[in-house]
Amino acid sequence: MWLLKKDGSWLPIDSSELITANRVTPESFDGDLEHIAQTGQSVIISFSGPHDGRGFSFAKRLKQFAPELKLIASGGLTPDHARLCFQTGFDEILLSEELVVRQSASAWQTAVEMSVDKTYVEGKVHSNIPSIWQERALAQSIATNE
């Protein structure tokens, strides 16, 4: 197993290291955010496949409710999901050996620097570069102050 971190770093991991993490699937979530927040420091959110985006909304809501939780994405993701994961509140992505080998380690290593790295509403994942709208607002306020 491998862990891809939000800052782009990348390390092998023994699955036993995740034994204390709380595992949840968005499809079985009963709405009780408080219960999840109380049951551990780390939460692994499993995606049922590359087409199911529930995990993104689930992470967003959970992170808003309990910002201190470490959220880890797992499931059949691709490097193209990395931006989506990190912009919706995940801290790490858990990858199987198969995903790393087939989709290529280099693609995963550059996943957070894929061509589209920020959107109108969300900034860059691993730097302090804000969203497009925030950048425009900043430029406007500088222009107004000058």
The residues that touch other proteins, with contacts defined as CB under 8 A, are 26-27, 29, 50-54, 56-58, 60-61, 64-65, 76, 78, 80, 83-84, 87-88, 102-104, 107, 114-117, 119-122, 131-137, 140
Provide, rounded to whole angstroms, the least separation between the CB of residue 135 and other proteins. 7
Provide, rounded to whole angstroms, the least separation between the CB of residue 22 and other proteins. 18
CB nearer to other proteins: give 14 or 32.
32
Per-residue burial over 64-85, b if 16 or more Cβ lie within 10 Å, else e, is eeeeebebbbbbbbebebbbbb
Cα 102 from chain centroid (whole Å): 21
> What is the C-alpha to C-alpha distance for residues 14 and 136, in angstroms, rounded to an integer?
44
CB nearer to other proteins: give 22 or 52.
52
Provide, rounded to whole angstroms, the least separation between the CB of residue 9 and other proteins. 21
Q: Can you point out the beta strands (E) in 13-143?
A: 22-24, 42-46, 70-74, 92-95
CB nearer to other proteins: give 41 or 141.
141
| Burial of residue 52, with CB atoms counted within 10 A of its CB: 0-12 exposed, 13-18 middle, 19 or more buried | middle
CB nearer to other proteins: give 52 or 70.
52
